Amino acid sequence: MAKSKPRVKVPKTAKAGEIITIKTLISHKMETGLRKDKKSGELIPRKIINHFKAEFNGTTVFETVMEPAVSSNPYIQFKMKVPESGEVVFTWTDDDGSKYTTKKKIKVG
Amino acid sequence: MRLNRRQVLILGAGATAVAAAGVPTMSIAADDPTAQQVIDKFTGGAAATSGRVDLGTPEIAENGNTVPIQVSVESPMTTDDHVAEVLIVADGNPRPDVAVFKFTELSGEAAASTRIRLAKTQNVIAVAKMSDGSFFMAKNAVKVTIGGCGG
C-alpha cells in the first residue's frame, strides 16, 4: 500500500464537559511478520502501525500501543471529555518511523 | 552386505534417537512469551481481581481476521482515580499481546473498541491498571470459525 489514509469522525460541536465518542480508521495492511509469501515461501517482514495517539490542545487524551494482532485497517474508537474549544491531533506511527497525522476542530458552544 | 534382524533393530533405535534429538529445535521460538507472561509483565506480578472491566466480544467470530472487541472499565476518571492502561491479550495467538490502551483524565470514560485478529478459538483477556496500582480483569471465550493467521 502506497499511502495510508487516515479517517476520523469527531463531532464539530460539543457542550463543555460533554463526553464525546471519536472514531478513527486508517488504511494500512498491518503485515504481521508471521505470514509467508505464497510463491517464494519466505516470511513477509513485519510492517504495522505500532502506536496511535490523540492529543487535545497539546494534552494527551488517549494512546494505543498496537501489536501484530490488530486487524488490517486499524479501527479505534474511544471517548473524550471536551473541556473547551480546541483541536484534536491524531498521530499514527508506523514501524518504519513514518507518521500519519490528521487534525479536527471541536467548538464548544 | 546383508543385514540380519539384530542389526536392523540397532539401526532403527539409532534413527529414533536422532529424531528425538531433532525435536527441540522445531519447537516455538523462545522469544514468544505466553499469555500469562505478558499479563505478569504488565501487572508486575500483582494479582488482578475479576470485575469492573466490561469486555465485549462476539461469542462466535466467523472471520478471525477482524474480530470486533469493546472494552470499558468502571471508573470516575478523575485525576486521583482513573484507569491508566488496559491490556488486551489473546491466549491462543502465536503472539498473545494484542494492544494496550492508555487513558487519561481527559478521556472522560475508560472505553475503547477496535478490531483484532484471532488465530483460533480462544480466550480474550482484558487487564485494567488503575491509577492507584490495583488491577482488574475480564476474560471472554471467543469461537473462531476461520482463523486469522493468513495461512
Distance of alpha carbon B112 from alpha carbon B132, whole angstroms: 21
Q: Between A19, A62, A74, which is nearest B102 by CB?
A: A62
pLDDT at B24 exceeding the cut of 50: no
**Does residue B17 form part of some domain?**
no
- Burial tier of A6 (Cβ tally within 10 Å: 0-12, 13-18, 19+): middle
For the entire predicted model, the pTM comes to 0.81
In this structure, is residue B113 part of a structural domain?
Answer: yes
Shortest distance between the Cα of B141 and any Cα of chain A, in A, equals 17
Q: Specify if B63 maps to a domain.
A: yes
| Neighbouring residues of B133: CB distance < 8 A, sequence distance ≥ 6 | B46
In this structure, the dihedral spanned by the alpha carbons of residues A80, A83, A88 and A89, taken in order and rounded to 10 degrees, is -90
CB A56 within 8 A of CB A86: yes
- Per-residue pLDDT tens over the stretch B93-116: 888 999 999 999 899 899 999 999
Q: Cα distance from A107 to chain B (closest Cα, Å)?
A: 16
- Cβ neighbours for B131, distance < 8 A, ≥ 6 positions apart: B80, B81, B82, B83, B84
Q: Under a CB-based contact definition with an 8 Å cutoff, are residues B55 and B126 in contact?
A: yes
Model confidence at B28, pLDDT cuts 50, 70, 90, reads: very low
**All residues at 6 or more sequence positions from B37 whose CB lies less than 8 Å from its CB, including other chains:** none
ipTM value: 0.89
The H helix count followed by the E strand count for chain B is 2, 9
Question: In the A/B pair of chains, how many CB contacts fall below 8 A?
Answer: 103
Q: Which residues of A touch B109 (CB under 8 A)?
A: 19, 79, 81
Full domain range(s) for residue B104: 33-144
Query: Is B105 part of a structural domain of the chain?
Result: yes
In the prediction, which pLDDT does B84 show?
Answer: 92
Q: Considering the domain boundaries, does residue B27 fall inside one?
A: no
Band (B150; pLDDT cuts 50, 70, 90): low
Q: For residue A97, what are the contacts with CB-CB under 8 A and spacing of at least 6?
A: none
Domain count of chain B?
1
CATH class of A5-108: mainly beta
Per-residue model confidence as pLDDT tens for chain A (109 residues): 446 789 999 999 999 989 999 999 999 888 888 888 888 888 888 889 999 999 999 999 999 999 988 998 999 999 999 999 999 999 999 998 899 999 999 999 7
Residues 47-106 of B with CB under 8 A from A: 65-67, 77, 90, 93-95, 97-106
Cα-only R_g, chain B = 23
Regarding predicted confidence, which is higher, B10 or B33?
A: B33
Q: What cell does B48 get? A: 488482578
Query: What is the CATH number for B71?
Result: 2.60.40.2470
Query: How near does any CA of chain B get to the CA of A106, in Å?
Result: 14
Residue B143 near residue B124 (C-beta atoms within 8 A): no
Q: Is residue B55 part of a domain?
A: yes
- B116 within some domain: yes
Test B106 with A76 for CB contact under 8 angstroms: no
pLDDT band at B12 (very low <50, low <70, confident <90, very high): low
